[in-house]
Homo-oligomer: A and B are copies of this chain.
C-alpha cells in the first residue's frame, strides 16, 4: 500500500510499464467521498495554471535560443488562457477570483520554487512533468463536479497545452547533449513525489484514511503510468 496520504515525502516506486502499451480505459473510481468543493477546486486549478504560466514564461526568457522561445512561449500563453478561463468561471459564480485563489498561494508558490531547476532545461522538464500529472488529475476531478461546470472545466483543462512543442524542444536539447538525458531522468523522478503531494492536497479527506487511500490508489497508478509514457517520449527512464 502506498502512502500518498502520509505527510512525509513519499518514496515513489514507479511501475516500469512497457512504453508501447496504449493507455487503457480510465479506471472507474468513486471519488464522491474525497471530492473537493467546487470553489476550492476552481481556485487551486486556476492558481496552478498561473504558476505554470510563470514557470514557462521564465523558461522562455532564460532560453537563449529563439527557436526554443517560440514553443515555450506558446505553452506559456496557453496556460495563461486556461488560468483566465478558470478565473472567469469563478467570477461567473459571483465570487472574487483573488479571494478564492489566495488559500493556495503559499503552497503553489512553494511548489514552483521546489520545482525550479538548475537551468532552463530542468525547469522545462518540470513544466512538462508537473503539468502533465496535474492536468490528468484535475481533469479526472472535474468530471465529478456538479452541473455543467464539470464538463466545461474538464474541456478547458484538457484543451491544447502546447506540450508537443515543448517536448520537441527538450528532445532536441537532449539529442545535442549526452549528459543531459541522465540529469533530466533523475530530476524527473524527484518531481513526481512533490507533484503527487499537490494532487493529494486537492482532495477532501473523509477521516477514514485507509478508505481514502484505497479510493485514490488506482488513479495515482494511472497518473504515474501516463507520466512514464511522457518520460519515455523523451527517451528518459521514469
Closest residue to A56 on the B side, CB-wise?
A: B57
Which one of A94-102, A125-133, A183-191, A203-211 is at the B interface?
Answer: A94-102
Interfacial chain B residues near A83, Cβ < 8 Å? 73
Q: Would B84 and A77 count as touching, CB distance under 8 A? A: yes
Interfacial chain B residues near A98, Cβ < 8 Å? 65-67, 70
Given A54-B60, A58-B61, A61-B54, verify A73-B80 contact (CB < 8 Å).
Answer: yes
A interface, over-half SS: helix
A122 to chain B, nearest CB (A): 18
Interfacial chain B residues near A105, Cβ < 8 Å? 66
Q: Would B80 and A76 count as touching, CB distance under 8 A? A: yes
Copies of the chain in the assembly = 2
Complexed CA–CA distance, A80 and B87 (Å): 20
Q: Would B61 and A73 count as touching, CB distance under 8 A? A: no
Q: CB within 8 Å of B: which residues of A?
A: 50, 53-54, 57-58, 60-61, 65-67, 69-70, 73-74, 76-77, 80-81, 83-84, 87, 97-98, 101-102, 105
Extra A-B contacts (7), CB below 8 Å, given A70-B87, A74-B84: A50-B73, A58-B58, A66-B97, A66-B102, A73-B84, A76-B80, A77-B77
Nearest first, the 5 A-B pairs at minimum CB distance are: A57-B57, A66-B98, A54-B61, A77-B80, A67-B98
